[in-house]
């Protein structure tokens, strides 16, 4: 499939998924109170740490080492490794429950969420690796739709249960993987190879360290807030952070699932010039996402908070927005660009070094700032850790591979974004009607972003235009 067709499939599915995820935030923060939503985010944070440490590295190793001629061996072996990894997660949990150190309900919700993340990620990674974007899109959309449906149902039916929401969301993740398992069942259930397991282990053990380290670094802010100030403090902070991530990640995932996949295939085939061009396009795309997305969110912050958040979340969400916007923007670069270098190196050690530094910086600042500065301190710690991690990859000197850094293009995109913000400030002072001002801001940002997208031909915008014009004729 031409990479622009694949990009459009990924983009369409991610936009629809993000819309449903934003709907979930809006519904959950209205049906549940701050404590309920905070508990859900706490379970999710611990699940991401377990998933990042024990299972996610298998997906990364599978994608990096996969060979089409041995598809059954790779798919079946990776699935078996996932199953063993989940047993390793469940065993200590069962012991903690038996000893009374962990409640059975919390352990159940935590394990189901971890298993759901593992199954869903595998259901996205396998079709992505085999260049089948429609199957990846199916898992993504099914997970998003079921999250809203099941989550809303349990918040209404079990309003007093703290773990009902995470169990419902975990179920959505698990069910979303079913179509992929049905389609690829012949390859998944036959062909297990010890040699492939050893290959994935050799390549992936640094990713295991890096994944766990990175997951802890990404969630230590929420864990610290819960520790020092209770789960209620995580509610508004996590809701706003997750809202911003949904908006940015929808396009970041498109970049990773299309352009990074194309670059990886080109690099594997020795077409390094094509790989570098795809990677440069990926970084420009992420720059457009973060610059114009940030301008739009800041311009419409009052409207966004009123629409997407329950009344209990309004004041804190608006106050935390600027810092969390910076954190989310850097996270997109960290996750969908700098974090992708692992697929182009013979070892995952660089990923571990970057994640380890991020964890050290984040933990140090978290324990220094969170007790006194609460959510603001957590956001600052998160920003500093992510910047340190990106710097490790950007400055790394390797004879085998270096990510391109089109800094001139980045500066030009940022300059256009700054100009758009200046014009927005003029609108804010001169247009009194709120609806007219919102319309003017949206038109300004959309037009400016569209011009930049056309100039660099990002997100297949010229390809789409040609298709539309051809259809119109």
Q: Provide mean pLDDT across the span 171-199.
A: 92
Supply the mean pLDDT for the chain: 88
Q: For 294-323, what is the mean pLDDT?
A: 89
Distance of CA 279 to the CA centre of its chain: 18
Q: What b-and-e string marks burial along 358-378, b requiring 16 or more CB atoms within 10 Å of the CB?
A: bbebbbebbeebbeeebbbbb
pLDDT band at 7 (very low <50, low <70, confident <90, very high): low
Q: What is the DSSP string of 321-362?
A: HHHHHHHHHHHHHHHHTGGGGGGGSS-SHHHHHHHHHHHHHH
Mean pLDDT along residues 278-286: 91
pLDDT in tens, 22-69: 888 888 888 878 888 888 888 998 999 999 899 999 998 898 888 888
pLDDT surpassing 70 at residue 226:
yes
Per DSSP, the residues of 155-222 read: HHHTTT-SSHHHHHHHHHHHHHTHHHHHHTHHHHHS---HHHHHHHHHHHHHHHHHHHHHHHHHHHHH
Enter the pTM of the model.
0.78
CB 460 within 8 A of CB 281: no
pLDDT, tens digit (0-9, with 9 covering 90-100), for 201-219: 988 888 888 888 888 988 8
Measure the CA–CA gap between 75 and 59, rounded to whole angstroms. Answer: 10
The values of phi and psi at residue 162, to 5°, are -75, -25
Average pLDDT over residues 69-85: 92
In the chain, % of residues over pLDDT 70: 96
Q: What is the pLDDT of residue 430?
A: 93
- Selection from 93, 99, 96, 104 nearest residue 47 by Cα: 93
Number of Cα atoms under 13 Å in the Cβ half of residue 53? 17
The residue ranking higher by pLDDT, 247 or 155, is 155
| pLDDT at residue number 324 | 94
pLDDT tens by residue, 227-236: 888 877 888 8
- At residue 368, the pLDDT reads 95
Residue 240 has pLDDT above 80, yes or no: yes
* Residue 299 CA neighbour count, 13 Å, CB half: 30
pLDDT band at 424 (very low <50, low <70, confident <90, very high): very high
The Cα 55–Cα 215 span in angstroms is 12
Mean pLDDT within 116-120: 96
**pLDDT higher than threshold 90 for residue 443:** yes
**Given a cut of 90, is residue 359 above it in pLDDT?**
yes
Higher pLDDT, 136 or 416: 416
163 close to 106: Cβ distance less than 8 angstroms: yes
Q: How far is C-alpha 52 from the geometric centre of its chain's CA atoms?
A: 12
Where b means 16+ CB within 10 Å and e means fewer, 6-39 reads: bbbbbbebbebbbebbbbbbbbbbbbbbbebbbb
Domain ranges of the chain: 3-472
- pLDDT value of position 131: 74
Using alpha carbons, select from 237, 261, 200 the residue that is nearest to residue 76.
200
Q: How confident is the model at residue 5 (pLDDT cuts 50, 70, 90)?
A: low
Residue-wise DSSP of 24-52: HHHHHHHHS-HHHHHHHHHHHHHHHHHII
Q: Region 447-462: what's the mean pLDDT?
A: 89
Q: Contact at 8 Å (CB) between 46 and 231?
A: no
Answer with the residue of higher pLDDT: 398 or 375. 375
Average pLDDT over residues 71-81: 92
Which tokens is 217 given?
Answer: 């670094």
Who wins on pLDDT, 303 or 346?
A: 303
Look at residue 299 in the predicted model and tell me its pLDDT: 93
Which among 411, 428, 456 has a CA at the least distance from the CA of 259? 456
CA pair distance 150, 63, nearest whole angstrom = 31
Q: Which is nearest to 296 in space by CA: 202, 181, 420, 434?
A: 420
Q: Per-residue pLDDT for 400 more than 60?
A: no
Spatial separation of the C-alpha atoms in residues 349 and 131, rounded to whole Å: 27
- Residues with Cβ within 8 Å of 212's Cβ and at least 6 positions away in sequence, in order, are 49, 52, 53, 54
């Amino acid at each position: 499939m031409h990479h622009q067709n694949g990009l459009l499939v990924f983009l369409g599915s991610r936009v629809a998924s993000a819309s449903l995820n934003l709907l979930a935030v809006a519904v959950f923060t209205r049906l549940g109170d701050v404590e309920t939503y905070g508990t859900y985010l706490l379970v999710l944070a611990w699940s991401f740490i377990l998933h990042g440490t024990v299972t996610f590295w298998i997906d990364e190793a599978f994608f990096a080492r996969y060979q089409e001629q041995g598809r059954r061996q790779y798919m079946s072996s990776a699935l078996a490794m996932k199953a063993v990894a989940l047993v390793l997660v469940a065993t200590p949990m069962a012991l903690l429950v038996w000893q009374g150190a962990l409640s059975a309900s919390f352990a159940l919700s935590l394990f189901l969420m971890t298993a759901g993340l593992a199954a869903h990620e595998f259901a996205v990674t396998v079709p992505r690796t085999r260049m089948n974007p429609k199957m990846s899109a199916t898992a993504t959309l099914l997970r998003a739709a079921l999250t809203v449906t099941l989550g809303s149902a349990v918040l209404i039916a079990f309003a007093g249960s703290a773990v009902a929401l995470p169990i419902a969301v975990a179920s959505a993740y698990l069910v979303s993987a079913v179509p992929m398992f049905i389609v690829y069942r012949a390859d998944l259930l036959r062909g297990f190879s010890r040699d492939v397991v050893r290959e994935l282990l050799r390549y992936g053990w640094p990713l295991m360290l890096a994944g766990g380290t990175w997951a802890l670094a990404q969630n230590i802010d929420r864990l610290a807030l819960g520790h020092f100030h209770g789960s209620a403090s995580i509610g508004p902070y996590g809701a706003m952070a997750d809202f911003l991530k949904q908006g940015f990640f929808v396009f970041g995932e498109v970049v990773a699932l299309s352009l990074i996949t194309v670059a990886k295939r080109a690099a594997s085939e020795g077409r390094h010039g094509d790989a570098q061009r795809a990677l440069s396009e990926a970084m420009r795309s992420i720059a457009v996402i973060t610059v114009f997305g940030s301008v739009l969110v800041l311009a419409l912050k009052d409207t966004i908070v009123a629409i997407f958040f329950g009344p209990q979340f309004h004041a804190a969400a608006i106050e935390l927005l600027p810092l969390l916007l910076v954190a989310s923007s850097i996270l997109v670069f960290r996750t969908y660009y700098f974090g992708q270098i692992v697929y182009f190196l013979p070892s995952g050690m660089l990923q571990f070094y970057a994640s380890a530094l991020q964890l050290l910086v984040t933990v140090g600042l978290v324990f220094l700032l969170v007790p006194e500065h609460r959510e603001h301190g957590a956001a600052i710690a998160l920003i500093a850790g992510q910047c340190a991690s990106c710097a490790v990859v950007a400055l790394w000197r390797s004879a085998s591979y270096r990510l391109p850094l089109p800094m001139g293009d980045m500066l030009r995109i940022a300059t256009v974004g700054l100009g758009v913000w200046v014009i927005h400030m003029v609108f804010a002072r001169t247009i009194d009607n709120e609806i007219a001002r919102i319309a003017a801001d949206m038109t300004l940002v959309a037009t400016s972003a569209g011009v930049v997208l056309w100039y660099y031909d990002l997100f297949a915008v010229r390809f789409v235009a040609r298709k539309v014009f051809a259809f119109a004729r």
